[in-house]
């Protein structure tokens, strides 16, 4: 049985469950799509992808393949490429078509658009033109991993997304995260996960939940101290493959008393003393003179 055939019942269910609802013309529909498992598609998402006059998407080939799997293949002319390199210009094309009364759906390659994916500029431009943006909720790696991490029972979370790729900037970002008491959600690509793990190891015993290939056949979810993350990745070559989401667990304020020195150590490993001291003062709020004296002691030691 083909994939399209297997979703025939889902398409019928989408028509029955969502078809009677109102889908105004001249509106942008921001559609969340699966992050790996095709069965995670929502009924409203299926209905909107079938109903839309045009589908704007991060990658037309990827989206056409997704639509084909559901039996919703579209004519190539009804797909509009809208990605990080052309979002501003393509948004104006979308606005023009919306003003002409079209319904347009937007889908990124996976998950919810505008969350570390293109779509935010598009939504802002459409709203700025006085047009409606309709969210069609669904899969997201952020909430998927948080639901399994079990770390939000006594606080909220911060979404940090992808940290900088340059080592010094990444280490400075990790030093800043050491001061964050709430849980922090990070995303990372396979070719950079080992560098991120090495940077996070400086956070010592702070727990991190790592999610690899979420919702897919070889999904892994593991919670361990940050210091052990590099060794965990190195223990199995498969563990560095696939897309990653990570959650740094929140920490109690009392456990952060030594964060000033920890931040300073992290920064001194990559930056000159004066720069490290300035950043450490900005991050922690500690007096700059005291940090400077501490930096000199650390350097001499």
Q: What is the pLDDT of residues 42-70, one digit of tens each?
A: 999 999 999 999 999 999 999 999 999 99
Residue 207 backbone class (left: φ over 0; alpha: ψ -120 to 50; beta: rest): beta
Rounded distance between C-alpha atoms, residue 210 and residue 194, angstroms? 12
Distances 235 to 136, 228, 238, 288 between C-alpha atoms, Å: 40, 11, 9, 41
Using the predicted structure, report yes or no on whether residue 266 has a pLDDT greater than 80: yes
Share of the chain above pLDDT 90, in %: 79
Q: Give the mean pLDDT of the chain.
A: 93
Residue 127 has pLDDT above 60, yes or no: yes
The pTM assigned to this predicted structure is 0.82
* Percent over 70 (pLDDT), the chain: 97
Q: Is the pLDDT of residue 253 over 60?
A: no
The reported pLDDT for the residue numbered 259 is 67
* pLDDT greater than 90 at residue 279: no
Higher-confidence residue of 153 and 189: namely 189
Range 130-145 average pLDDT: 98
Which pLDDT score, from 0 to 100, does residue 283 have? 80
Superfamily for 142-250? Tetrapyrrole methylase, C-terminal domain (3.30.950.10)
Domain boundaries, the chain: 3-139, 142-250, 258-301
Please give the structure tokens belonging to residue 262: 């920890």
For residue 256, name the pLDDT band (cuts at 50, 70, 90): very low
Give me the architecture of the 3-139 domain, per CATH. Answer: 3-Layer(aba) Sandwich (3.40)
Phi first, then psi, for residue 54 (nearest 5°) are -150, 150
Lowest mean pLDDT among 32-36, 180-184, 198-202, 249-253: 249-253
pLDDT-based confidence at residue 298 (cuts at 50, 70, 90): confident
Note the pLDDT tens digit of each residue in 66-118. Answer: 999 999 999 999 999 999 999 999 999 999 999 999 999 999 999 999 999 99
Least confident of 76-90, 134-148, 250-264: 250-264
pLDDT per residue as tens digits for the range 194-211 = 999 999 999 999 999 999
Q: Going edge to edge, which strands form the sheet with 244-248?
A: 157-161, 183-188, 244-248, 207-212, 220-225
Sign of the CA dihedral with 3 first, then 11, 133, and 247 last: negative
Q: Quick: pLDDT tens for 3-20.
A: 888 999 999 999 999 999
| Residue 87 CB contacts under 8 Å (≥ 6 apart), including other chains | 118, 121, 122
* pLDDT at site 255: 44
Tokens of 82: 């809208």
Residue 4 · residue 71 · CB < 8 Å: yes
**CB-side exposure of 197: number of CA atoms within 13 Å?**
23
The pLDDT score that the predictor gives to residue 264 is: 85
CB distance 297 to 277 below 8 Å: no
């Amino acid at each position: 049985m083909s994939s399209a055939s297997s979703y025939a019942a889902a398409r019928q269910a989408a028509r029955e469950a969502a078809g009677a609802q109102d889908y105004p013309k001249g509106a942008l529909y921001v559609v969340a799509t699966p992050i790996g498992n095709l069965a995670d598609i929502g009924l409203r998402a299926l209905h909107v992808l079938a109903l839309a006059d045009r589908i704007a998407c991060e990658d037309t080939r990827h989206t056409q393949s997704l639509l084909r799997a559901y039996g919703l293949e579209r004519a190539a002319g009804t797909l509009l490429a809208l990605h990080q390199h052309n979002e501003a210009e393509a948004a104006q094309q979308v606005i023009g078509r919306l003003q002409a009364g079209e319904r347009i759906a937007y889908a990124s390659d996976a998950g919810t658009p505008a969350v570390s994916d293109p779509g935010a500029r598009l939504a802002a431009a459409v709203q700025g033109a006085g047009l409606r943006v309709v969210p069609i909720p669904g899969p997201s790696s952020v909430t998927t991993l948080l639901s399994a991490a079990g770390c939000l029972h006594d606080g909220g979370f911060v979404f940090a997304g992808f940290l900088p790729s340059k080592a010094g900037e990444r280490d400075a970002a990790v030093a800043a995260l050491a001061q964050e008491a709430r849980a922090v959600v990070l995303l990372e690509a396979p070719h950079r996960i080992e560098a991120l793990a090495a940077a996070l190891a400086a956070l010592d015993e702070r727990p991190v939940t790592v999610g690899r290939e979420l919702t897919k056949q070889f999904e892994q979810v593991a919670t361990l101290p940050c210091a052990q993350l590099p060794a965990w990745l190195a223990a199995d070559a498969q563990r560095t493959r696939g897309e990653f989401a990570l959650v740094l667990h929140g920490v109690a304020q009392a456990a952060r008393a030594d964060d000033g020195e920890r931040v300073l150590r992290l920064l001194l490993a990559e930056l000159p003393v004066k720069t490290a001291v300035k950043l450490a003062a900005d991050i922690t709020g500690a007096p700059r003179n005291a940090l400077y004296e501490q930096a000199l002691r650390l350097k001499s030691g």
